[in-house]
Amino acid sequence: MTGLDILAQDEYYMDLALKLARNGYGRTSPNPMVGALVVRDGNIVGQGWHQKAGTAHAEIHAMRDAGALTAGATLYVTLEPCCHHGRTGPCTDAIIHSRIRRVVFAMTDPNPCVAGCGAGMLRQAGIEVTEGVLACEAAKLNEAFIKYIATGLPFTAIKMAMTLDGKTVTASGHSQWITGEASRHRVHKLRDQFDAVLVGVGTVLADNPQLTVRHIQGRNPVRVVVDSHARTPLDSLLITDKAAHTIIAVSQNAPSDRLKAYADADIEVVQLPTGPSGIDLRALFRYLAQKGLASVLVEGGATINASIIQENLVDSVFWFIAPKLVGGVRAPGPIGGTGVARLEDAAELEDIELELVGNDLLITGYLTTREGRNVYRDCGRIRDSQECDDQSAIS
């Protein structure tokens, strides 16, 4: 078999492993999504994927599925096998013990506890290792994990719905519903895939949102409210509905009686230093990451959108545009604040994708001004070196 034939074969099986990894969408955080296959004599004899943080990794599931057929086989896995003790044991030890002959993985683990170590241990044990097969595809799949590990901040996306003329609400304050039913279902799928959903207190006061996953089967994200002065009403759904955990981020000047009332209602409150947006948003996002929330979906209004963009905290957008014309000079748009003075200073999108969702247009893309830009463009290489600490050893 020629080198090109081997590469084509490796890419074929790695693509299948990536499809397996996607079964973990919204379920593995703060761990990455990983898929694995055991192939022997041209046949898939074992397969598996990582299902939840703290449980067996994809390699273990695949090798258990293969049983004694692992001897002399090739293991395909979408991420470099781990070599450290986290909540589970090192996958490298299990691979060596299984007598796997060859390991092919897609991307180097950005976790500084693992990067290069897993491959090195396998080679020292006499196992042939091939790395970098479909690395960009694997890194794109785990862009949230890479951002979280490399920067200590969650991967953050803005979800916005607006009319064709750029309005998010009418001049009279009516906003339900701008987009159609298909788009609303898509938003619930997004909530299922993100660890947290964040709004500003203005959205709470105007809409009294529930911010849970409905219309589809899924799990609820943690709900986060940016509320400097603790104005979230005690009878709001984010307080009274216990289907999901709620965090209210307040400033250090928030009234103590309100904070006690939130605590009495079993609501988590975090007091943060002040910043340009009332509270220090970067400190809030670091707090969320420290709690293991590796991805945040922002579903707020013009004020919070402007603030997180200004703070360089946004990675991507999901921008729904409905084929409706509302008009009205007093009808607000999706981004408030002072804006930019010159067009050359505007944030731009790259890697843009367009999709019709029902009758609405969905634009997705990545902000060019954000930290790190496209985290998956390095195809699995570590962006920023940092020492291995307890947060990194999360597997």
Catalytic residue numbers? 59
Question: Chain centroid to CA 278: how far?
Answer: 25
Structure tokens at 356: 């019709």
First to last CA, the chain: 37
| Binding site per annotation, positions for NADP(+) | 161, 177, 207, 228, 301-307
Q: Give every CB contact of residue 227 below 8 A, 6+ residues apart in sequence.
A: 200, 201, 204, 248, 249, 250, 254
Tell me the C-alpha to C-alpha distance, in Å, between residue 378 and each of 46, 146, 295, 393.
30, 10, 20, 22
User: Judging by DSSP bridges, how do beta strands 155-163 and 74-79 pair with one another?
Assistant: unpaired
Q: How far apart are CA 249 and CA 200, in angstroms?
A: 10
Measured from the Cβ of residue 265, the count of other Cβ atoms closer than 10 Å reads 12
Among 395, 393, 196, 152, residue whose Cα is nearest residue 290: 152
C-beta separation of 376 from 146 below 8 A:
yes
Q: Give every CB contact of residue 273 below 8 A, 6+ residues apart in sequence.
A: 251, 252, 279, 280, 283
C-beta separation of 162 from 175 below 8 A:
no
Q: How far apart are CA 57 and CA 33, in angstroms?
A: 10
75: left (phi over 0), alpha (psi -120 to 50) or beta: beta
State residue 320 phi and psi, 5-degree precision. -90, 130
Q: Is the peptide bond before 49 cis (omega within 30 degrees of 0)?
A: no
